[in-house]
């Protein structure tokens, strides 16, 4: 892409953001600033394969907004990732950090590669190649990457090491989501799930549910969905009756034996035919008659085609953008409460912020301290979003965007950036 073409890449925000902007009477000038990333960087990475061949692939870093602090956002390695997706996700991160009220902006990175076909040594070479390619536009005070799809704590550790070599000094704060042995944060692995649980607890309380246990179906058995499942097992208010991976799903109306399901998944590679459970498709899981449906996999899972079949009373978005705007309207019409992604899955970026703070101070917290701080910030954000929704008679999603926009507008005016 040429420089001129890059400047025309727009962020695809949900309808809820436009609704919130109208309620706030946000000026066209400010909306124009938010419609496009402030900076878009594109590179070509070369990866030496283990067999001696060289693989070349595009890579990007979208820096959407830094009015409230350094850019912040994950890096995904995926064969179908495109620049427009990276740009949109960087915009969503701007709003997510504003909702939870941490001093970061929004960014996102991507490499168009099938990471599942890479060996561990190839994955390391790619991580280091990305750090070298973008070393001039990332940094602890500028833009702080984190793991996302098909990247993990090892990826971040390699990137931190490579960046430190380039700048000539130890720089752990350049990325977050690092292994504990490389100055990561306690509590980071389960941060998104833990924050999701805190959010769910708060909203369920506000909704006034008296029935217990509440039945839960979870799409996704990875770090996010599986992590939440493990937390819910220890809480008598909930009963997990269904869970899925990318290939299959299982269901038991009386409640799953999750230890058995996780063991089966580890042994066979999927959840199909797990003991004491009925096999389902992912489609069927989304339409189960449960109290709570958790979307912890990938985007665009509930669309205009299947939204009317959702029977859950509450939908918790732990994945990014798992419900389309059209589907969101249908769910609202059917009185389904949707807890939006920019609130529900903000635990990951919040603990990333804690990790960055610890790196900057060179003072490290216990897991209990991390979880206590995460609970406090998340609970405050839940109360603010709920109160805004009630006072304006709007959905939680619109309320979350309204809260974020209020903070972005206030900062923009105070800093005279528009």
Mean pLDDT along residues 12-19? 88
Which residue in 253, 205, 247 sits closest to 222, CA to CA? Answer: 247
pLDDT at position 283 is 93
Per-residue pLDDT averaged across 393-399, rounded?
A: 97
User: What would the pLDDT profile of 135-157 be if each residue is shown by its tens digit?
Assistant: 999 999 999 999 998 999 999 99
How would DSSP label each residue in 234-278?
A: T-TTEEEEEEE-SS-EEE-TT---HHHHHHHHHHHSS-TT-TT-E
Q: Rounded mean pLDDT of the chain?
A: 95
Q: What percent of the chain has pLDDT over 70?
A: 98
Q: 340: pLDDT confidence band, cut at 50, 70 and 90?
A: very high
Residue among 122, 40, 132 at smallest CA distance from 77: 122
Instruction: Write the pLDDT tens digit of every residue in 270-316.
Output: 999 999 999 999 999 999 999 999 999 888 899 999 999 999 999 99
pLDDT, residue 210, reads 87
Q: Count of CB atoms within 10 A of residue 370's CB?
A: 22
> What are the structural domains, with CATH classification, of the chain?
39-182 (3.40.50.10860), 185-364+371-418 (3.40.50.720)
166 exposed, middle or buried (CB, 10 Å; 0-12, 13-18, 19+)?
Answer: middle
d(CA 197, CA 149): 21
Average pLDDT over residues 188-209: 96
- CA distance linking residue 145 with residue 88, whole number of Å: 16
**Residue 12: what pLDDT?**
81
pLDDT of residue 415: 86
Q: Would you name the residues annotated as active-site residues?
A: 108
The pTM score is: 0.94
Residue 4: the pLDDT is 47
């Amino acid at each position: 892409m040429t420089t001129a073409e890059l400047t025309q890449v727009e962020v695809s925000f949900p309808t809820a953001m436009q609704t919130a902007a109208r309620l706030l009477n946000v000026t066209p000038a400010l909306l124009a600033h938010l419609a496009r990333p402030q900076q878009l960087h594109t590179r070509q990475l070369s990866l030496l394969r283990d067999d001696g061949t060289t693989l070349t692939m595009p890579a990007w870093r979208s820096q959407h907004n830094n009015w409230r602090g350094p850019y912040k956002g994950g890096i995904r390695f995926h064969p179908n990732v495109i620049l427009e997706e990276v740009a949109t996700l960087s915009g969503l991160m701007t709003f997510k950090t504003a909702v939870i009220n941490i001093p970061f902006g929004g960014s996102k990175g991507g490499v168009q590669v099938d990471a599942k076909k890479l060996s561990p040594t190839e994955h390391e070479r790619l991580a280091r190649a990305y750090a070298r390619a973008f070393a001039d536009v990332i940094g602890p005070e500028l833009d702080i990457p984190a793991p996302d799809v098909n990247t993990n704590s090892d990826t971040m550790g390699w990137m931190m090491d490579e960046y430190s070599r380039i700048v000539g000094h130890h720089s752990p704060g350049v990325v977050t989501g690092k292994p504990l042995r490389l100055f990561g944060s306690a509590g980071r692995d389960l941060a998104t799930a833990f924050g999701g649980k805190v959010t769910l607890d708060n909203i369920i309380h506000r909704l006034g549910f008296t029935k217990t246990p509440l039945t839960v179906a979870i799409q996704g058995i990875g770090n996010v969905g599986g992590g939440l499942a493990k937390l819910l097992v220890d809480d008598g208010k909930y009963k997990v009756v269904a869970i899925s991976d990318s290939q299959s799903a299982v269901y038991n109306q009386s409640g799953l034996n999750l230890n058995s399901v996780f063991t089966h998944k580890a042994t066979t590679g999927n959840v199909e035919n797990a003991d004491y459970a009925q096999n389902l498709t992912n489609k069927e899981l989304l339409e189960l008659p449960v109290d709570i449906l958790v979307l912890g996999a990938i985007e665009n899972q509930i669309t205009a085609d299947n939204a009317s079949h959702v029977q859950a009373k509450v939908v918790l978005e732990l994945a990014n953008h798992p419900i389309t705007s059209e589907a969101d309207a249908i769910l609202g019409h059917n009185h389904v409460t949707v807890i939006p992604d920019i609130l529900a899955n903000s635990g990951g970026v919040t603990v990333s912020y804690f990790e960055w703070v610890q790196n900057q101070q060179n003072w490290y917290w216990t897991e209990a301290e991390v979880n206590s701080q995460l609970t406090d910030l998340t609970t405050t954000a839940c109360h603010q979003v709920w109160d805004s929704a009630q006072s304006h008679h709007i959905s939680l999603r619109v309320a979350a965007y309204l809260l974020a926009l209020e903070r972005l507008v206030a900062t923009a005016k105070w800093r005279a950036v528009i």
